[in-house]
Amino acid sequence: MLSQKLLFCLLLIAGTLHGQDGLFTNFDEASFYHNPALTGFIPGDATTRLQVRAREQWRSFLGTGAYRTMTTGIEQRFCGNDDGDYFAFGANVQADWQGDPSLRRINLFGSFAYTKDFSSRFQTRLLSAGVEAGYLQFNLEQGSLTFDDQFDDPGLPDEALGFQNLLLFDYGVGIFFTQFSKAKSGYGFNAGISAKHLGQPELRFIDNPATDNQTSVNLPTRWTIHAGGNNLPTPALGNTTLSVLGLVSVQGPHNQILGRVLLNLERTKTGDGKYLSLGAAYRMNIGVNGLGSDALIIVGQWNGPGYRFSANYDMNVSRLRSATNSVGAIELSFFNFFGKASCIRCPRW
């Protein structure tokens, strides 16, 4: 008989652990992951954004079973009826590989957002509302599973699962507000809230009504609140500006808090759009064992005209650090912005 406890653990990993729900440290750049209202929120007056991201976690501990996440997406925005308004469409694909045996997850989503301009003489104010919909596909690598009876007799054949592949429809919504100065410094503030997995799709690999309560789980709705300030002046550091961001994400019993600080070196001096940002972030989890530290993160970004490259390294400070030697995750991302529209007013963050 197949170990139902094993499958239940795999389902819990897929459904509730944020490390396997596409966790990204640079959450302000992971628009598809955090908030559909960020669709089309592209720096400056560019109309199109391409993005590619990759993350690998816990290789020192799990080896070939390390958690891996890759995503790619495109967004395009268009002028609205009123000056400063715009609407945007986006499409993205995300793939996760989780553990050994592998539980693979692929997300294929489309998103739409509309942004209304409420600007005044000295301040630009934008309010966005967004929606997303798509499919989640889960695949369990059955060939690498060991069943109960096979521990006594490895020659026994594998048992058949009721569902080895799952295709589930899902959707989410979000809102986002930003305000920034029309002055050259362009400092500003923003805040948003989103709800993902509103459909709470059911994950179930065993077709047995008698055990559904033990071998299935609904993907909980994930609520995210995020806020930040960008290009904040630092008189003591001259032309360097400060960016601060914070996030609280709640999904079932497993939740996270993340804060990040970046120094944008010589941000206002060069004038050519090129600058280096360096900083740090700290992530904490709130789970069944209460509040606990998760990772100390080193962040670096290189910004240029029409592109951005980011790299993060997560140092594990959780209870697992003794097994991982504090080695955590590496995350890389690249963004390309292009096109031009005179009706759009967005900060160059």
pTM across the whole model: 0.81
The string of pLDDT tens digits covering residues 194-226 is 999 998 988 776 655 545 555 567 888 999 999
Q: What is the mean pLDDT of the chain?
A: 79
CB contact at 8 A, 279 and 262:
yes
What is the model's pLDDT at position 13? Answer: 43
Longest dimension (CA), the chain: 78
CA–CA gap between residue 29 and residue 27 (Å, rounded) = 5
Nearest to 167 by CA among 139, 127, 130: 139
The string of pLDDT tens digits covering residues 256-291 is 899 999 999 876 555 567 889 999 999 998 877 778
- Average the pLDDT over each of 93-97, 200-204, 298-302, 310-314 and give the range with the smallest value: 200-204
What is the model's pLDDT at position 214? Answer: 53
pLDDT band at 321 (very low <50, low <70, confident <90, very high): low
For the chain, the distance separating the N- and C-terminal CA atoms, rounded to the nearest angstrom, is: 55
The angle at the Cα of 10, spanning 134 to 327, to the nearest 5 degrees, equals 95
The string of pLDDT tens digits covering residues 87-132 is 999 999 998 876 665 678 899 999 999 999 988 778 889 999 999 9
Q: What count of Cα atoms within 13 Å lies in the side-chain half-sphere of residue 15? A: 22
CA–CA gap between residue 344 and residue 117 (Å, rounded) = 9
CA–CA gap between residue 178 and residue 162 (Å, rounded) = 48
The string of pLDDT tens digits covering residues 12-53 is 444 333 334 557 777 666 677 889 999 998 887 889 999 999
3-state secondary structure of 211: helix
What is the model's pLDDT at position 8? Answer: 40
CATH for 4-338, options being 3.40.50.720, 1.10.3720.10, 2.40.160.40, 3.10.180.10: 2.40.160.40
The structural domains of the chain, with segments of one domain joined by +, span 4-338
Sequence length of the chain is 349
User: Which is higher by pLDDT, 185 or 137?
Assistant: 137
What is the model's pLDDT at position 345? Answer: 60
CA–CA gap between residue 293 and residue 259 (Å, rounded) = 12
